[in-house]
Chain A
Amino acid sequence: MTVAKDLLYRRSHEWARTEGDTVVVGISHYAQDQLGEVVYVELPDVGTAVNTGDELGTLESVKAVSEFLTPIGGEVIEVNERLEDNPNLVNEDPYGEGWLVKIKGSVEGEKLLDAGAYQEFLEEESG
Chain B
Amino acid sequence: MSGSDQIEKTPLYDEHVAAGGRMVEFAGFELPVQYTSLTEEHEAVRNRAGLFDVSHMGEIAIRGPGAFAFVQLVSCNDHSKMTVGRAQYTGLMYPEGTFVDDILVHKMADDDYLLVVNAANRHKDFAYLSDLARDHDGVEVVDLSDDYAQIALQGPLAAEILQPLTPQDLSEIKYYRFLTAEVAGAPALLARTGYTGEDGFEVYVDPAAAVDVWRAILAEGRPKGVQPAGLGARDTLRFEAGMCLYGNDIDETTTPLEAGLAWIVKLAKGDFIGRDVLELQKDEGLERLLVGFEMVDRGIARHGYPVMLDEDGEPGGIVTSGTHSPTLGKALGMTYLPIETATVGSEFFVKIRNRMARARVVELPFYSRKKK
Contacts and interface: CB of A to CB of B under 8 A. Distances in A.
Interface in A23-65: 36-37, 39-40, 42, 58, 60-63, 65
A34 B323 CA distance: 18
Interface string B33-68: 110011100100000000000000000000000000
Interface residues of A, number: 12
Chain B residues touching A, majority SS: mixed
B232 interface: yes
Contact of B324 (A40, A42, A58, A84): A40
Interface residues of B, number: 17
B331 A63 contact: no
A86 to B, nearest CB: 13
B353 A62 contact: no
Contacts of B298: 40, 42, 84
Contacts, number: 37
Chain A residues touching B, majority SS: strand
A63 B38 contact: yes
A29 B175 CA distance: 44
Interface of A: 36-37, 39-40, 42, 58, 60-63, 65, 84
- Kindly list the 10 A-B residue pairs having the minimum CB-CB distance in the complex, ordered from nearest: A39-B324, A63-B232, A37-B39, A40-B300, A62-B324, A62-B38, A60-B300, A63-B38, A36-B38, A62-B323
24 contacts: A36-B34, A36-B37, A36-B38, A36-B39, A37-B37, A37-B38, A37-B39, A39-B300, A40-B299, A40-B300, A40-B331, A42-B298, A42-B299, A42-B353, A60-B300, A62-B39, A62-B42, A62-B232, A62-B323, A62-B324, A62-B326, A63-B38, A65-B300, A84-B298
